[in-house]
Amino acid sequence: MNKLPLVALISGRGSNLKAIIDAQNPLVEIRAVISNRPQAKGLLYAQQAGISTEIIDHTQFSKRIEFDTTLKTRIDYYQPKLIVLAGFMRILTPEFINHYQGRLLNIHPSLLPAFKGLHTHKRVLESGAKEHGTSVHFVTEDLDAGPIIIQARVPVLPDDNEEKLAARVLQQEHRIYSQAIHWFAQSRLQLQGQNVLLDGKPLNSWRKLI
């Protein structure tokens, strides 16, 4: 059985990375985990699972393109068919994104297109929104604006604070990221222009998992 070769990029605690590893998907081979931060705790999860790890410290590069070029070279060494951003806190250059078009995924803690960018939980609470959630999408040049693959919703409860809301969203992140990766590994998921196809048919971007 040919497994899907995957490389994951992280910057921090690696919660989504751990969920992907723990899923133990028989169709997926995680060939490497690369971090732009030497102290990223997520590297430990990879090392404990016997996965190759690398650190490419972005602070050692004077230009963004230089960092991205080095990162691309190291990713390509592992010959992945899918690259997943799992809490990777860097804005990538168009050259990098285009190189991996159709095989670069990200997860964002909001119901895109709402609340792009940072501090989503705080902004959701301040807005008075009644629901929140998370989205897996293909990465494009526009930040947090790539075609959506799958989303999960959670209610915003009256006694919520940032920590409570974030924890509830994170549970859904772990579930839907693994689902999107599984679809890709089954060769069921693809990007065609700005359209996401599942089994050759347009995918409802507001699909939710209960």
Tens digits of per-residue pLDDT, 42-101? 999 999 999 999 999 999 999 999 999 999 999 999 999 999 999 999 999 999 999 999
188 within some domain: yes
Q: Is residue 108 part of a domain?
A: yes
Residue 83 confidence (pLDDT): 98
Q: Which percentage of the chain shows pLDDT scores above 90?
A: 93
pTM for this one?
0.95
> Which strand ranges, in their side-by-side order, compose the sheet holding 52-55?
52-55, 28-35, 4-10, 82-85, 104-108, 131-138, 148-155
Buried b (16+ CB within 10 A) or exposed e, 124-147: bbeeeeeebbbbbbbbbeeebebb
* Candidate list 108, 132, 137, 174, residue with the active-site label: 108
The answer as to whether 209 is a domain residue is no
Residue 208 lies in a domain: no
The CATH number of residue 79's host domain is 3.40.50.170
* Count of the separate structural domains present in the chain: 1
Is the residue at 210 inside a domain? no
Active site residue 108: yes
* Residue span of the structural domain in which 144 resides: 4-202
Query: Is position 12 within any domain?
Result: yes
Q: How far apart are CA 80 and CA 208, in angstroms?
A: 28
Structural domain contains residue 160: yes
Q: How far apart are CA 189 and CA 180, in angstroms?
A: 8
Q: Is residue 120 part of a domain?
A: yes
